[in-house]
Amino acid sequence: MVGPMQWIGYPALIAAAATVLFAIPLRLFGLPLPEPVWPLVLAFAWPLIRPSMLAPAVLFVLGLFLDLFWGGALGLWAISLLAVYGVILLAAKFLSGQATIVLFALYVISTGLAFTVAYAVTRMDAGNGPSLLAMAGQVIPTLLLFPLADWLIERFDDADVRFR
């Protein structure tokens, strides 16, 4: 039986650790490591796996962690992650059993939603929007994380027979 620690706890800890790991000042070929929004994978996958009251709370904490770690406005990533979770939760009934390409298209839309919310909050907070080029440098690596979301969905979807 798969418990909440396997599909919520461990992935959340891994996302936080990956965020810290990718923030180290290492340069490869003269370029810094990308800084994707790792918890966005979870905000996309968790409502498709199984609705839960624990998942939004963990996403909120992960969002606050990102805000504190990256020095952004407090609540910026929390609201962005929760917006994605909410939209996917509303659409989850229509997405069960869809092909991977459909899930990828929805992941692209979800990533766009998260970064649009983050852009709007940053613009309201600072009075000036962030650089779109710099934002693209974070959007593209986040989009490349889709195989992890797809793996989570395949791994944990219907893993617990109590929810069939």
Enumerate the domain spans of the chain.
4-163
pLDDT at site 164: 45
Return the pLDDT at 51.
84
Q: Per the structure block, which two tokens stand in for 142?
A: 């986040």
Residue 31: phi, psi to the nearest 5? -110, 145
Task: Give me 42's structure tokens.
Answer: 């979870």
Q: How many CA atoms lie within 13 A of 69 on its CB side?
A: 20
Take residue 160 and report the two structure tokens written for it. Answer: 């617990």
Give the distance, in angstroms, between the CA of residue 79 and the centroid of all CA atoms in the same chain: 11
Q: What is the pLDDT of residue 33?
A: 86
Per-10-residue mean pLDDT, the chain, length 164: 83 96 88 92 93 93 96 93 96 85 96 96 89 92 96 77 47
